[in-house]
Structure formats: structure tokens, C-alpha cells
């Protein structure tokens, strides 16, 4: 099992899940072909590069699914591709996946952000994280609020530095105490003191994959017994 999730999942957190999986950096175009040819059959996609390099494509995932691979998606580009490929057998999970699937105006760059490719240090905050942090203070659904942002406050969604995040919070016109709380939560995301929504969704994906593989193994043993092969 492979998980492409250098940003939404770290080795220490993965170890705590007690799931045997190889943690690889954010996925790029053709890498899922490479790993399938190397013998891997279960792929968990959370993070991927889709600006600085070519992104993993829906066509690649479809090829792997047709060849017998199992592909799960969450968190970032995994959620995007899962929403596109769910009808073809890719599994999607998590709040970000649900928002992508149910929001017609969803923009890919809501998930994007900048990071140091060597250290994976967060340089900007994904807009999607601001959305979920602000959820308790907003009126209406996240989809409705996202639509309003597009109309009234155009900006580079994948370039939210700390200062730009604070300007966005000012624009929300929150109560002073809510503004202070949200600003503190933003700071904690940048420093890693707070678990991101992307990581929460990646953990849910790992759990889903584990449960799916256990059920498949049980079903295979059942078939073997019925056929007298076990």
C-alpha cells in the first residue's frame, strides 16, 4: 500500500495508525504508473503537485483501476480526482471530498498552496483550511460562502500568506472575539500546532482503506472455503 501524502500525513502520524503503508511525497504525473509497474496495487492519494509540475490525471487513475488496482482519494488532489472518478471505482472520503463533490463552483486552487519541496515546510495556507476553520462563524453553507468569496473577494487562493489570511478574516466582518479565535487558529495551522482538515481526511482515508482490505480478505477466504480451496 502506498500513500502519497507528504503534507497531509507525516511518518510519525502514519505509524500511530498501525497501517503498513509506504509514505511517498506528493504525487506527480506518471508516478502511479511507475508504482503499479513496481508491483503496488493499493494507492492512497492525498497530496499532489498540480501547478509546479504536471498533476496525476484522471486517465492514469482509470488505467490503474482497469488493471486491477484499488485507488482511494482524500484531502487535496486525491479528493478532486475521487470526485471525478467515483463512478469508475475510485473511493473518496472526507469532508473536503464531500465539499468538492457537492459544490458546483468549487475551484481547484482552493486546495493549492506553496511549500518547500525539500522540507515540506508550509509557506502559504490552502484556502480550503480557512473555509473549514471559519465554518462555525459563517451563515449558510460552505458552498454558499465560497460562491460569495468568488464574487466579492477575488485573490490568489493558493498564495495565502499569514498576512493575506488576516486580511481575509477582516473581510469576513466577524465579531471581535471570533476574529481573535480564528486568527489564533490560523497561526496554529502555520506552526503545526493544529491538525489540518487535510490531515483529518487523510486519516479517514487510511482507516477506510484498512477496513476495505480486511473485508476483501474475508470475502476471498469465504470464496476459497466454498470452492474447497481453503
Residue 144 pLDDT: 79
pLDDT digits over 170-181, tens only? 888 888 999 999
> In the 8-state DSSP scheme, what is residue 22?
E
> In the 8-state DSSP scheme, what is residue 25?
P
Query: Coil, strand or helix: which one is 2?
Result: strand
Q: What is the mean pLDDT of residues 199-225?
A: 89
How buried is 25 (Cβ within 10 angstroms: 0-12 exposed, 13-18 middle, 19+ buried)?
middle
Residue 13 pLDDT: 93
Contacts for 194 with CB less than 8 Å, ≥ 6 apart: 185, 188
Percent of the chain with pLDDT over 90: 56
- Least confident piece of the model among 43-47, 94-98, 103-107, 175-179: 103-107
E strand residue ranges, 31-73: 42-45, 70-73
Query: Coil, strand or helix: which one is 194?
Result: coil
What distance lies between CA 220 and its chain's CA centroid? 30
Do the bridges between strand 22-24 and strand 2-4 make them parallel or antiparallel, or are there none, so unpaired? Answer: parallel
Name the residue with cell 489570511: 165
Q: Which helix (H) or strand (E) holds 146?
A: helix 142-152
Contact 27, 44 (CB under 8 A): no
| Cα(130)–Cα(168) distance, integer angstroms | 9
Residue 151 pLDDT: 76
pLDDT digits over 10-68, tens only? 999 999 999 999 999 999 999 999 999 999 999 999 999 877 789 999 999 999 999 99
With 80 as the cut, is the pLDDT of residue 150 above it? no
152: containing domain:
2-226
| Cα(74)–Cα(76) distance, integer angstroms | 6
Average pLDDT of the residues of the chain: 89
Contacts for 9 with CB less than 8 Å, ≥ 6 apart: 3, 23, 46, 199, 202, 203, 206
Q: Which is more confident, 44 or 226?
A: 44
How many folded domains does the chain comprise? 1
Amino acid at each position: 500500500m502506498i500513500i502519497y501524502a507528504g503534507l497531509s500525513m507525516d511518518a510519525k502520524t502514519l505509524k500511530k495508525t498501525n497501517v503498513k503503508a509506504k509514505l511517498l511525497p506528493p504525487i506527480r504525473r506518471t508516478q502511479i504508473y511507475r508504482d503499479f509497474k513496481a508491483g503496488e496495487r493499493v494507492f492512497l492519494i492525498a497530496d499532489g503537485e498540480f501547478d509546479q509540475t504536471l498533476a496525476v490525471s484522471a486517465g492514469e487513475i482509470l488505467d490503474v483501476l482497469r488493471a486491477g488496482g484499488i485507488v482511494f482519494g482524500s484531502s487535496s488532489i486525491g479528493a478532486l480526482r475521487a470526485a471525478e472518478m467515483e463512478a469508475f471505482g475510485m473511493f473518496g472520503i472526507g469532508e473536503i471530498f464531500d465539499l468538492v463533490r457537492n459544490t458546483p463552483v468549487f475551484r481547484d486552487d482552493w486546495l493549492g498552496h506553496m511549500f518547500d519541496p525539500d522540507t515540506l515546510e508550509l509557506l502559504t495556507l490552502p484556502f480550503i483550511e480557512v473555509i473549514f476553520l471559519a465554518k462555525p462563524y459563517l451563515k449558510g453553507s460552505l458552498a454558499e460562502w465560497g460562491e460569495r468569496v468568488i464574487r466579492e473577494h477575488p485573490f490568489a487562493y493558493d498564495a495565502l500568506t499569514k498576512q493575506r489570511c488576516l486580511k481575509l478574516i477582516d473581510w469576513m466582518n466577524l465579531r471581535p472575539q471570533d476574529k481573535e479565535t480564528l486568527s489564533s487558529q490560523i497561526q496554529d495551522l502555520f506552526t503545526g500546532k493544529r491538525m489540518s482538515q487535510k490531515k483529518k481526511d487523510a486519516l479517514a482515508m487510511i482507516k477506510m482503506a484498512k477496513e476495505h482490505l480486511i473485508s476483501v480478505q474475508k470475502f476471498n477466504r469465504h470464496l476459497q472455503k466454498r470452492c474447497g480451496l481453503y
